[in-house]
Structure 1
Amino acid sequence: MNVSPHTRHSRKARAAAVALLCLAALTACGGQSTTAAAPAAAPPPTTRFSENGVTVTLSVSDWHAAKGTLTAVFTPEEKGFHLYSTELPLTGIEGVGRPTAMAVSGALAADGKLTAAADVRTISVPGVDAPVPVYPDGPVTTTLPIRADGTGDATVLLGYASCSTEKGCTIPVADRPVPLRITDEGPTFTAP
């Protein structure tokens, strides 16, 4: 059978169109494509503990060129409890309250100031003349810019106290250590 050049070209064009449609259908339906996918980013190093009525979740994010952000989320375990401001003096106001605090030592150093993602309000405490700065009831997220000073062991030191205007206060936590290991790849939390 003698096939004209126009018919051969038309068959090739149809075959190419069918192949493209099949590839598009595979890609749209989640099939394998011929291009390599970008590797998934590793989840940030995270650890958690609970002590004296508060659960603390720590994570390190945005780690590039030996710098990153250390985040601590302080979550009171009971409703109606608040945490004290990061700006509260170490011994509180007239002995009342303890600041929400986070510091680093060892192979890590602070690269900025600790900040909290919550508005400060003041409360009046019976027997205390000055107002006491606290965060609203519930969780408080704090962040601290950090940088590595080489590789090796590091420690995050945490402090906090939670109180309720109706139920009183929990025992304050001061300088609670959480160990980390700093490698060339970045920080990882280690078992105490």
Structure 2
Amino acid sequence: MKKKAEPMHQQVRAAAALLTAATSLALTGCGQQTQAAPPPAHPPAVTEFNENGVTVRLSVSDWDSSRGTLVATFTPDEAGFHLYSTALPAAGVEGVGRPTRVAATGALAGAGAITADAAVKEIHVEGVRAAVPVYPDGPVTTRLPIRAAAPGGATLLVSYASCSTTQGCTIPVADRPVRLRATADHLSFTG
């Protein structure tokens, strides 16, 4: 018995179905299932301000819903200016200098010691018996591990002073507030 030929429109449909299946296999890696892309993450928390001769950039890295690292970069506006060590006493050395610090309050708290990316050096200031610990001239970046006790508002208190051995010092900044908000999965600066 002789087989009947299929009508042309059925052949076209069969070819189109085969082409669609082949394209689908090629796009999915030969039959492997593809995973959906993860939902877009929240943008990183970042803010910046300039006060008394220093630009301060604050950001939060590695935030995982309750922990992260607060990164603060202090950049003097003029060449030849340095910042003081994070270990400097709050009142300075014999009244000279102010520590470079960031403290977290409210819904956030420090979860470790603040560290800096620059080595401390000691300078001698006329009229001051003890050496004063400073960072080399230029920008300094500090890191402070932080944790959220609960969702809610938080305040960072930023302190620093910049000086030059030839041009004098700027007015110190003490506990300048910067506001944040912590949610269950995100941390953001609020102004």
Query: What TM-score results when the alignment is normalised by the length of structure 1?
Result: 0.80
Amino acid at match of 1:72: A
- The residue that corresponds to 1:106 in the other structure is 106
- Quick one: distance in 2 between partners of 1:151 and 1:73? 26
| Identical amino acids, percent of aligned pairs | 64
Q: 1:35 to 1:149 in 2, by over 3 A?
A: closer
User: Which has the greater radius of gyration?
Assistant: 2
1:76 aligns with 2:76: yes
Aligned-partner residue type, residue 140 of structure 1 = V
In the alignment, residue 106 of structure 2 is paired with which amino acid? G
Where does the alignment leave 5 or more consecutive residues of structure 2 unmatched?
1-18, 28-33
Match of 1:58 in 2: 58
Q: CA RMSD in A?
A: 2.3
Once the two structures are TM-superposed, the CA of residue 152 in structure 1 deviates from its matched residue by 0.8
Name the SS of the counterpart of 1:63 in structure 2: coil
SS in 2 for 1:92: coil
Q: CA deviation at 1:127?
A: 0.5
SS in 1 for 2:62: strand
* Alpha-carbon separation, structure 1, partners of 2:35 and 2:112: 42
Quick check: 1:88 aligned with 2:88? Answer: yes
Distance 2:58 2:65 in 1: 20
The Cα offsets for residues 42-85 of structure 1, whole Å up to 9 and x where unpaired, read as 43110000000000000011011410000100000000000000
Q: Structure 1 unaligned runs (5+)?
A: 1-15, 25-33
Amino acid at match of 1:95: G
Query: How many equivalent pairs are there?
Result: 168
What residue is the counterpart of 1:136 in the other structure?
A: 136
Whole-angstrom CA distance in 1 between matches of 2:87 and 2:35:
52
Instruction: State the shift of 1:40 in Å.
Output: 5.2
- Greater shift, 42-51 or 83-92, is seen at 42-51
Distance 2:148 2:80 in 1: 38
CA contact (8 A) 2:65 2:184 kept: no
Q: TM-score, normalised by structure 2?
A: 0.80
Aligned counterparts of 1:41 and 1:80: Cα–Cα separation in 2: 40
Distance 1:154 1:35 in 2: 37
Structure 1 residues 186 and 150: alpha-carbon distance in aligned structure 2, compared to 1, 3 A threshold = same
